[in-house]
Amino acid sequence: MLGRAVLGLGVALVLFGAVEAGLRAAWGPPVSPTTYHELFHRDRPHWAEQGDGLVRPVFQDKDEVAPFAPAPADGVRRVLVFGESSVRGGSGLPPEQEFPARLQAQLRAAGQDVEVINLGRPGLDSGGIRVLAFEAAAFHPDLYVVYAGHNDIGNAYMFERFHDVESVAGAKVRILLDHLQLYAAMRQLVKSPLLGTAAPGGAPPPMSAAQRMVAASGFQQNLARLVFEAQEAHIPVVLATVISRLDAWTTGQPVCPGALPPGTWSGEGGRWSLHARPGDDAALLLAPDAAPDCPEAWFLRGQARLRAGDEGGLADLEHARDIDVIPLRASTAVEDAIRAVGAATGAPVVDIESLARPRVRDGGRLFVDNLHLTADGHAFVADALLPEVERALARP
């Protein structure tokens, strides 16, 4: 009896694997069930309108990019840039100072006849970006550039997604199922995705490790699907890791002030800043031991270690970012997901995060806040992207 049971289980697993392999061969990787927010509106069901021989983006709400032709002129290469507020609108800068326009200027200065169209928008996460990229393929792009990753965990927090994930073990099971095309097909038969809605009554509770895990996994799925769909349409993709400020800590409300030496917080009226005082370094180095879940403790220890010449303090700053109770910056898991998608799909990855690490103390020049770029920051991103974009456009 035991032998028959083992044989039956083995046959079932082989059949299941064959079905899953067949579905993946036909349909590619599944889309994450992560809902997306703020791409379309009820009174504006499409991201762009066409008329008079032009495409007019209408999804960016303000300072929309200029209309463009449905197809580029003869001999002109078209690059579409996708992303969030770090690409369009979040810095309060005019579009010509954001990195897509800077990238276009650099390419043209090098003699290339290229147009770079900025299709970023505040609030987008990977679900919306994937839909946008799929539909934008109709406008004859020669290359996609994707600079995204800040919003998936932040939107999961703001709109209380994955609140039903209570444990890391449960999250791992959910992630496993969500990565199966067979499960995705069955899921579509029984329900349709819903748009996220804002959490009622103030800020949601802090995200658990399980919720962060599911959000990062959903980001990776959607990014992989975007690359798959682009490659199926013969559109090459350049991916980029995203950068955020690590050398400053500002919040609306201190999370664990009792774990820190007196005087480290300053501010009022819902805007508080954290300051590491050199005289407190001995206490700050021990603060995370007493309060391991306190992001401010990790931030201050990282600052103290960097002052002492210990570059390991950078890891503390990154950990503080990763456990921030208001998770609006791309986490280490999201950055690793971008690299993993590149390795799995062959899409080149410009590792801007690694390029920015030597400038960790230069956040005031690169950022207007925790993640939106100054004009210098946009120039830094454009410079980092330029060589890989040139290589991608040079390929036949």
Where is 281: in which H helix or E strand? helix 281-290
C-alpha dihedral sign at 370, 353, 238, 381:
positive
In this predicted structure, what is the pLDDT of residue 194?
A: 42
CB atoms within 10 A of CB 297: 24
Helix, strand, coil % in the chain, rounded to nearest 5:
50, 10, 40
Q: Phi, psi at residue 214, to the nearest 5°?
A: -65, -40
In sequence order, the β-bridge partners of residue 273 are 250, 266
pLDDT tens-digit series, residues 160-191: 777 667 655 555 555 555 556 655 555 555 55
Quote the CA–CA distance of 220 and 248 in Å, as a whole number: 28
Where do the structural domains in the chain lie, given as residue ranges?
31-245+339-396, 250-322
Quickly state the pLDDT bin for 280 (edges 50, 70, 90).
confident
Higher pLDDT, 169 or 50: 50
Percentage with pLDDT > 90 across the chain: 47
User: How confident is the prediction for the chain on average, in pLDDT?
Assistant: 83
- What is the per-residue DSSP string for 314-328? HHHHHHHHHT-SS--
Full strand arrangement of the beta sheet holding 237-240: 114-120, 77-83, 143-147, 237-240, 349-350
Higher pLDDT, 80 or 199: 80
Mean pLDDT of 336-351: 97
- DSSP one-letter code for 68: B
Per CATH, the homologous superfamily of domain 31-245+339-396 is SGNH hydrolase (3.40.50.1110)
Assess whether pLDDT exceeds 90 at residue 101: yes
pLDDT tens-digit series, residues 73-91: 999 999 999 999 999 999 9
Query: For residues 57 and 87, is the Cβ–Cβ distance under 8 A?
Result: no
In this predicted structure, what is the pLDDT of residue 282?
A: 84
Q: Which two structure tokens, joined as six digits, stand for 273?
A: 């800043």
Q: What is the pTM of this model?
A: 0.85
Query: For residues 260 and 287, is the Cβ–Cβ distance under 8 A?
Result: yes
Q: How many CA atoms lie within 13 A of 316 on its CB side?
A: 26
